[in-house]
Amino acid sequence: MQNQAPSDTRLAIGEIARRAGIRPSTLRYYERLRLLPAPERVNGRRRYDLGVLDLLAAIEVSKRAGFSLAEIAILFSFGPDVSPSERWQRLALGKLEEIDALISRAEAMREVLRRGLECGCVRLQDCALFNDPRLTGRQAGPRSPLRAPSRGRQAIRRVGA
């Protein structure tokens, strides 16, 4: 078994990018954000240890989980006080709350869309969907948000037209 020189076990940015399925510019961007350690330079060119592929896989999994790059930076900020699994748990609980709120909003949107599909109104002013205070956020009353303008306004518009 031969001993390899350290530079032989390190790969150029293009090769790492190809293996990870990303662009070299993404690697440089992750370096600037400090998601990846600064690589060794040989003759001015970046040379990456193969371990960077594990970090890139962890970044991808974290992105698929919905974490922002700033959140991923927190996940990767290794220190003796908090383990990576503890950081993941803390951030994951917050992310799950965000997802639950997003699902609630999506379900409400679905309900509005379904109610709208059942509508057979000829005029918007007559549509219960657009005049429902629970959906419009306005109080019920004699003035609906979609009521036709008064004749006075219409007359002014015609004169000014």
Q: Please report whether residue 86 resides in a domain.
A: no
Which pLDDT score, from 0 to 100, does residue 2 have?
46
Q: Please report whether residue 1 resides in a domain.
A: no
Backbone CA torsion sign across 92, 18, 8, 34: negative
- Same domain, residue pair 36 and 68: yes
Q: Please report whether residue 144 resides in a domain.
A: no
Contact between residue 87 and residue 75 where contact means Cβ atoms under 8 Å apart: yes
pLDDT per residue over 46-102, tens digit each? 999 999 999 999 999 999 999 999 999 988 876 677 787 888 898 999 999 999 999
How many domains are contained in the chain?
A: 2
pLDDT per residue over 20-49, tens digit each? 999 999 999 999 999 999 999 999 999 999
Q: Please report whether residue 85 resides in a domain.
A: no
Quote the domain boundaries for residue 21. 6-77
Backbone CA torsion sign across 133, 135, 136, 137: positive
- Same domain, residue pair 20 and 51: yes
Element (H, E) at 12: strand 10-12
The token duo for 130 is 């657009």
The token duo for 7 is 């530079």
pTM, two decimal places = 0.66
Q: What is the CATH number of the domain that holds 27?
A: 1.10.1660.10
Distances from the Cα of 73 to the Cα of 54, 60, 81, angstroms: 15, 13, 16
